[in-house]
């Protein structure tokens, strides 16, 4: 999979995508992440990427031309399955969206900034708008990092024990059960007996019960929403 990220702050997005699982996925050749500085596509000597909003609205708006230029350049190199724009008014990001995106070959993520991008880009070029939550970030870079991280770990082969990604919270619409490691007892805090029993069927049953119980208690909407 290839992810092209377009931003006015390349340094902000670089580091979160250079460690841990994403780093290994890149090394294994399972994902290529290319970051593009939008300013490189500005045509004037000041590298202008924003301008005043028509109609007197406060704040700056990202200009059409540099965005069209970079997206047309990328699209001339390969076909893109989705051109995503990060914005607080996009579709709420979810594990199921991450699952679908992880199966694609090439995607572009355009990071929003300032007051946003000229509406004509949203109407004519963007195929999907994603919000990572009902709050406003200073820019779309952290959202793009979150989206990329959630997608990359799901690409087949990225996590060697694939069942590990499959048993994540939300993967089956439920929160994950609690986990424990050694020692089996610490200051009288004990690991549940069933996990030490070696009885795989009982352990699976316990995990499912815990998942359901935690989801009902902490995120009842996840269960109700399915009904």
Residues that bind ligand ADE (CB under 6 A): 86-88, 112, 131-133, 135-137, 140, 143
| CA dist 131 → 34, 78, 187 (Å) | 21, 26, 43
CB of 89 to ligand ADE, least distance (A): 9
Shortest Å distance, C-beta 151 to ligand ADE? 15
Which residue's C-beta sits nearest to ligand ADE? 143
Of 90 and 177, CB closest to ligand ADE: 90
Beta strand 128-131 with 32-37: parallel, antiparallel or unpaired? unpaired
Q: Which is nearer to ligand ADE, 112 or 177 (CB)?
A: 112
- Please, what is the minimum distance in Å from the beta carbon of residue 205 to ligand ADE? 38
Residue 92 or 178: the one with the smaller Cβ distance to ligand ADE is: 92
CA atoms of 55 and 73, how far apart (whole Å): 31
* Lookup result for tokens 């352990």: 203
User: How far is residue 213's CA from residue 178's CA, in Å, rounded to a whole number?
Assistant: 11
In the bound state with ligand ADE, the residue whose beta carbon lies nearer, of 104 and 142, is: 142
CB 33 within 8 A of CB 26: yes
We find the least distance from the C-beta atom of residue 134 to ligand ADE, in angstroms, to be 7
| Cβ partners under 8 Å of residue 63, min gap 6 | 42, 48, 49, 50, 51, 118
DSSP, residue by residue, 162-176: HHHHHTSTTTTSSPP
**Closest distance to ligand ADE from the beta carbon of 135 (Å):** 6
Shorter beta-carbon distance to ligand ADE: residue 86 or 215:
86
């Amino acid at each position: 999979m290839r992810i092209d990220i377009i931003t006015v702050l390349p340094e902000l997005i670089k580091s979160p995508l250079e460690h841990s699982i994403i780093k290994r996925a890149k090394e294994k050749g399972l994902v290529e992440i290319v970051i593009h500085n939008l300013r490189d596509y500005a045509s004037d000597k000041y590298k202008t990427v924003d301008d005043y909003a028509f109609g007197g609205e406060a704040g700056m708006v990202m200009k059409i031309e540099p965005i069209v230029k970079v997206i047309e350049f990328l699209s001339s190199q390969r076909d893109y399955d989705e051109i995503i724009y990060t914005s607080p008014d996009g579709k709420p990001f979810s594990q199921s969206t991450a699952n679908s995106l992880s199966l694609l070959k090439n995607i572009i993520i355009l990071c929003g900034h300032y007051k946003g991008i000229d509406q004509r880009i949203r109407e004519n070029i963007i195929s999907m708008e994603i919000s990572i939550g009902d709050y406003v970030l200073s820019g779309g870079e952290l959202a793009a990092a979150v989206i990329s991280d959630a997608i990359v770990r799901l690409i087949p082969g990225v996590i060697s024990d694939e069942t590990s990604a499959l048993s994540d919270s939300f993967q089956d619409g439920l929160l994950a059960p609690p986990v424990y490691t050694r020692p089996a007892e610490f200051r009288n805090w004990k690991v549940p007996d069933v996990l030490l029993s070696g009885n795989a069927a009982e352990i699976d049953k316990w995990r499912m019960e815990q998942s359901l119980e935690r989801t009902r208690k902490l995120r009842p909407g996840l269960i109700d929403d399915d009904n």
